[in-house]
Each structure stands twice: as structure tokens, then as C-alpha cells.
């Protein structure tokens, strides 16, 4: 089964924090990982906030290599429109709505959704996703 990975889950691969071991286990258990294009921005922003050189450079390279193996959902007009509708009805934050819209575009409830964000997990369940992580 394909697994959509949001930024909160992917960041745990590079930053040791509560839930990191579980996130890594989920990431390594599925060879068909998917995420939205905006994950690049979210994860790199957080890496820059949490790490310092030279560790930041090393982790950014690892993240770039990992992201290259993901299926990437582009944030086209249809995905953004769907995300806007999700945001209006669920009240999730904008970037979380983009993740939910992207996941819906590539498979909807037929794919798993990996997140450690509790509000996003609730919204994902309401949309019919099988949520893991949170």
C-alpha cells in the first residue's frame, strides 16, 4: 500500500524527538512513499531552525536523497482548490490542508497517511484515510 508522509513524520527521520523510532519504522516499512511538493519547504525550514553546521549540511543532503525516492504530488490548481475546501471544512492549518489535498489527489482513502500532528490526523480520519503515527 502507498503511504502519504506529512512533514511532521518525515522530520522525525532527521531529528531525534518523541515518535522518531515509530516514524522511522513506518518509513522503512513501505517502499511506495508519497508526499507533497511543499514538504521540501517545511522540512528544510525546520532543519535550519533546529540544527547548526556542519550537521545541518549533512542532514540536508540526506533529506534531499530521501526525498528523491518519494513520489511527489505537485501543488497544481486542482490540489490547491481541494486543499482550500478541506481547510474551510476541517479548520486545519493551510500547510496541513495542502498535505490532505495532495494525499486525496493521489489515492484518497486507498492510501495510508503518516502524521504525528493530532489535528491533522483527526481531519485525515474524517476524510476516510487510514492514519498511522498519531
Could you report the per-residue pLDDT of 21-61, keeping only the tens digit for each? 999 999 999 889 999 999 999 999 999 999 999 999 999 99
Could you report the per-residue pLDDT of 69-96, keeping only the tens digit for each? 999 999 999 999 999 999 999 999 999 9
Please return the burial class of 84, using the count of CB atoms within 10 Å of its CB with bins 0-12, 13-18 and 19+. middle
CATH tag, 3-133: 3.40.50.1010
Cα-based angle 104, 127, 103 (whole degrees, multiple of 5): 20
Given this model, what pLDDT does residue 127 score? 95
The answer to whether the beta carbons of residues 32 and 81 sit under 8 Å apart is no
Given this model, what pLDDT does residue 99 score? 98
Q: Which residue, 44, 109, 127, 40, is CA-closest to 75?
A: 40
Which cell numbers in the block locate residue 45?
525550514
Tell me the pairing of strands 33-36 and 130-133: unpaired
Given this model, what pLDDT does residue 134 score? 81
Given this model, what pLDDT does residue 30 score? 80
CA distance 67 to 34: 9
Domain limits of the chain? 3-133
CA distance 9 to 24: 8
Q: Decide: pTM greater than 0.85.
A: yes
Given this model, what pLDDT does residue 67 score? 96
Amino acid at each position: 500500500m502507498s503511504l502519504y508522509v506529512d512533514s511532521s513524520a518525515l522530520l522525525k527521520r532527521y531529528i531525534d524527538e518523541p515518535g522518531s523510532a515509530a516514524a522511522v519504522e513506518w518509513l522503512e516499512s513501505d517502499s511506495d512513499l508519497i508526499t507533497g511538493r511543499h514538504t521540501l519547504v517545511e522540512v528544510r525550514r525546520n532543519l535550519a531552525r533546529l540544527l547548526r553546521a556542519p550537521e545541518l549540511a549533512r542532514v540536508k543532503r540526506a533529506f534531499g536523497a530521501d526525498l528523491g525516492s518519494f513520489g511527489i504530488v505537485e501543488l497544481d490548481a486542482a490540489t490547491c482548490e481541494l486543499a482550500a475546501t478541506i481547510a474551510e471544512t476541517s479548520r486545519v492549518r493551510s500547510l496541513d490542508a495542502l498535505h490532505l489535498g495532495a494525499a486525496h489527489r493521489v489515492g484518497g482513502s486507498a492510501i495510508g497517511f503518516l502524521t504525528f500532528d493530532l489535528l491533522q490526523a483527526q481531519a485525515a480520519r474524517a476524510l476516510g484515510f487510514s492514519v498511522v503515527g498519531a
